[in-house]
Structure 1
Amino acid sequence: MTVPSEQAEVAALLRRLAGRDPVETHVSAVFVGPDTVWKLKKAVALGFLDFSSLAAREHFLRRELEINRPAAPALYRDVVPATRDAEGGLALGGAGEVVDWVLRMAPVPAEDFLDAVAARGGLDDPLLDAIADAVFALHAALPPVPGLDAPAAMMRVLEGNGTAALAAGLPEARVRALLAATRGWIIRLSPFLAARAAAGHVRRCHGDLHLGNLCLLDGRVTPFDALEFDEALATIDTGYDLAFLLMDLEHRLGRAAANRVLNRHAARSGDAGLVAALPLWLSLRAMIRAHVVARAKGVDQGMPYLAMAEAVLAPSPPVLVAVGGLQGTGKSRLARALAPALGAAPGALVLRSDEIRKRRAGLPPEARLPPDAYTPAASAAVFRELTELAAEALRGGHAVVADAAFLRPEERAAIESARGAAPFIGLWLEAPLDVLRARVAARRGDASDADVAVLEAAAARDPGPITWHRLEAGADPVPAARCVLGLNGGGA
């Protein structure tokens, strides 16, 4: 163990209780027993944190309990003193002199931490959706923090990153070039960042939201181990908090996983505007991981993160793709398949009319709505919001895939008008009606409430002239769609 010498007796007590050596980081030792986990903060001062005093360790353990318990009440139990009795013996929660403080938690099987789930290939689509839902719920429960100078805060993060990256031995020329490029992004986005702060997007967030700090607790995705030692580093835009998770997903699993979480989060929150700052936020998060990994595991291990930090600051230009057609043609499947390959990291924002309708009703996408939620006025409001969100994301430089039936000429004209200066490609999916009937009848757990009767009524209406690219959707339309968009010659 590398516990400081003045904590050796307490560490030995905890080791006896746990029956094994601790899991250690540079700032803590975590003793995992069969029924309890004991966390000891090391008496260290590292510049960015100072746990060297007994009072500081008590304060930050209590703060850790306070900020994590709301999201993980079954995981975080209490903070107890390690005490020395009159005979010199040590105990937890005794009546003698307090010599240290310990956080008690419930144990979590090692295989239930989401970095371990990812490593074994277990992050399937439903679990990715559950991750996004958990982050949405975490952020939604946090009150806005007014008064933060968000651009200045990002500049402080950047300068700290630069100092740490150079100290970790990352290539100086590349680090300094990245710093210069990032400063340019912060300056350019300053009005946007300030407007988001004024709109309430700055909150006391998790601050360290990567897969290793998410677990499955009673089958539910649970965030834990929020950053407790620096309020400034955790009082941030919710989009910057989310960006750490998106960066981690893209690095570990590829762009499709990160894109799915981004789009599920946007479907729940309605915060499509955050994509304008994603290149900046993803780059800062990747740069943080680059110097942390370089310091802990060697410069070579940090270089892939440095390369990611550089790459996301040179995004592909935005494009607007609209996917329309009757119910059951596979619009949403196609939209999700295309999105990761389009535009800036981690791929296009997918705006689905069915998900917007559910969010407007305050419901998750899979909840069903009554027929009166589908009045002409309600549908017009949904399409208006879809168009507005698409235009906002495109103005921010991010690609969009709009997913709706678009059965009326005015709906198609409206989405095309959202393009601004971006290219527009419309994809129209078609399939035999008997195929569509079977697909709609078989749907379960989908955001669409359409049944076969809705399909039949829609099929009986004339959609007017279709000028979009017509794609046969009786089979898989993804290769043909990729060909239309010029993505890898139409390959899968």
Structure 2
Amino acid sequence: MTIPASQAEVAAFLARHTGATPIETHISAVYVGAAEALKMKKAVALGFLDFSTLGSREAFCRRELALNAPTAPALYRDVVAVTRAPGGGLRLGGEGEALEWVLRMAPLAPGTFLDVMEEIPPEMLDAIADAVAALHAAAPRRAGDAPAAMQRVIEGNRAAGLAVGLALDEWRPEAMLAAVAPLLRARVAQGFFRRCHGDLHLANLCLLDGRPTPFDALEFDEELATIDTGYDLAFLLMDLEHRHGRAAANRVLNRYVAVTGDGGFLAALPIFLSLRALIRAHVEARRGHPSEAYRKAALDYLEPRPQHLVAIGGLQGTGKSHLARALAPAIGAAPGALLLRSDEIRKRQHGVAPETRLPPESYRPEASAKVHADLFAAAGAALAAGHGVVADAVWYDPAMRAEIEATARRAGAVFTGLWLEAPLPVLQARIAARRGDASDADAAVLARTAAADPGAIAWHRVDALDPALLTKALALVPG
């Protein structure tokens, strides 16, 4: 990661100007001072990028600014030239010929980068997913041959892996790519093939004003960054699973789908995750870092998993959503089951965030029927994609219970129904204590539901107050 000799004078100036030792990658050097951070692109040509000329470095500095300033305006400032001062020294800006171009940014403390956080709380995971959803919503749509683009990525990364000595004889994603090619083409037509971030892992997320913010989008290769939004998300999911466990990745996946309504990439998610793991494997190997865990993950993501649909019902306040979130990471393909929560579907149908309260008319029978129709459709599609599902709703209507069971049967999936029970005073207290939840149910709603007849309950009845609830629930889901 040596700075080229042709940039030595500028590098020394930037170090003096900022009072900082550069933070280097193979393509850039970043000098973080007290008042500003200056990023210089190295004068290198590496095959997949060419920063060898001054003009190219200026163009890519400006491209990086244009890509990132909209999502992180407090971080990205401008592009400035390094010029020769009248006394012979160097300076930022000023008259005269540009000797180098640098991207000027706000300085960030090391602890603000998400890849160095030892723990990411659930609320921040939700905020990360919201930030990615907003990024993708604003990303320009593109046309293209998505399967062919993915094949090029496979070939390039297989070559890169073999070049650093990775054992890849068992890594064979081509059959899965052929199977999902029609889906990828359909998603191009549906608008999910976009100019995305392209390098969306935890090191490229930071906290700005307390909010997770994507930055450092891939600026030097439009083809590598013009991808399915699911493939963009997959780098983050893979990174979260490796660093923080499957539950963290599962939460981000499910929040993203809850907000966007897009679970259409699930059939391709195994290959997306596998590629992202292989990329990390050969990058780490090239750096001399341990890479075997990533190589094994790249293989494991391609292995098929059993299909399960777990439905969790019961009165409001029994903890259905808490149990559903705890169960989902353990079910099916990585990073765990798709969690379909009726409360979140209702909010998305009304175009509001999950935590936004809706008026009573949003809960009329015809509105609830639409919610359940969307839930059934999403569950069927996820199962058909080879993914597990956890369906969280009250399920008091016997016809609705019959339909969710039929959804599993039609997909050839194993069905498990869990019915949570707890004393009414406990449920009343829990509902009264709720804050920032997708459920709008209050004591009156609970009372009306409790007075209704749910019919015969054939699902597993489970004590919602049992300290071993999660363990017992897992035991009821066939392995």
TM-score (norm 1): 0.95
For 1:198-237, what aligned pairs fall within 5 Å after superposition?
Answer: 198-237=189-228
Residue of structure 2 aligned with 1:316, choices 305, 319, 322:
305
Mapped pair 1:482 → 2:471:
no
Where 2:340 maps in the other structure, the secondary structure is strand
Find the counterpart in structure 1 of residue 431 from structure 2: 440
CA contact (8 A) 1:323 1:403 kept: yes
Find the counterpart in structure 2 of residue 149 from structure 1: 145
Mapped pair 1:415 → 2:422:
no
For 1:325-336, what aligned pairs fall within 5 Å after superposition?
Answer: 325-336=314-325
CA contact (8 A) 1:69 1:76 kept: yes
Greater shift after overlay, 137-146 or 331-340?
137-146
Residue of structure 2 aligned with 1:457, choices 444, 448, 452:
448
Residue of structure 2 aligned with 1:266, choices 251, 257, 266:
257
Deviations 1:224-254, CA, capped at 9 Å, x for gaps: 0000000000000000000000000011111
Deviation at 1:482, TM superposition (A): 1.1
Residue identity matched to 2:179: R
Greater shift after overlay, 137-146 or 287-296?
137-146
Greater shift after overlay, 272-281 or 149-158?
272-281
Mapped pair 1:136 → 2:136:
no
Supply the distance in 2 between the matched residues of 1:87 and 1:125 (Cα, whole angstroms): 56
For 1:225-264, what aligned pairs fall within 5 Å after superposition?
Answer: 225-264=216-255
Supply the distance in 2 between the matched residues of 1:371 and 1:437 (Cα, whole angstroms): 19
Where 2:383 maps in the other structure, the secondary structure is helix
Supply the distance in 1 between the matched residues of 2:82 and 2:423 (Cα, whole angstroms): 72
Find the counterpart in structure 2 of residue 490 from structure 1: none
Find the counterpart in structure 2 of residue 102 from structure 1: 102
Supply the distance in 1 between the matched residues of 2:412 and 2:149 (Cα, whole angstroms): 31
Residue identity matched to 1:126: E
Percent identity over the alignment is 62
CA contact (8 A) 1:133 1:265 kept: yes
Deviations 1:153-185, CA, capped at 9 Å, x for gaps: 0000000001100111212xxx1331xx20111
Deviations 1:88-116, CA, capped at 9 Å, x for gaps: 32111111111110000001110010011
Where 2:291 maps in the other structure, the secondary structure is helix
Supply the distance in 2 between the matched residues of 1:238 and 1:366 (Cα, whole angstroms): 24
Find the counterpart in structure 1 of residue 458 from structure 2: 467
Mapped pair 1:43 → 2:39:
no
Deviation at 1:475, TM superposition (A): 2.9
Mapped pair 1:177 → 2:170:
yes
Find the counterpart in structure 1 of residue 83 from structure 2: 83
Structure 1 segments, 4+ long, off by >2 Å, are 85-89, 474-477
Residue of structure 1 aligned with 2:121, choices 99, 119, 124:
124
Find the counterpart in structure 1 of residue 387 from structure 2: 398
User: CA RMSD, aligned part only?
Assistant: 1.1
Find the counterpart in structure 2 of residue 21 from structure 1: 21
Supply the distance in 2 between the matched residues of 1:184 and 1:177 (Cα, whole angstroms): 12
Residue identity matched to 2:383: L
Where 2:108 maps in the other structure, the secondary structure is coil
Deviation at 1:86, TM superposition (A): 5.2
Supply the distance in 2 between the matched residues of 1:316 and 1:163 (Cα, whole angstroms): 28
Residue of structure 1 aligned with 2:268, choices 259, 271, 277:
277
Supply the distance in 2 between the matched residues of 1:47 and 1:111 (Cα, whole angstroms): 33
Deviation at 1:85, TM superposition (A): 4.0
Task: Name the count of aligned residue pairs.
Answer: 476
Deviation at 1:272, TM superposition (A): 1.7
Where 1:126 maps in the other structure, the secondary structure is helix
CA contact (8 A) 1:324 1:403 kept: yes
Supply the distance in 2 between the matched residues of 1:103 and 1:449 (Cα, whole angstroms): 47
Supply the distance in 2 between the matched residues of 1:315 and 1:102 (Cα, whole angstroms): 47
Supply the distance in 2 between the matched residues of 1:240 and 1:309 (Cα, whole angstroms): 14
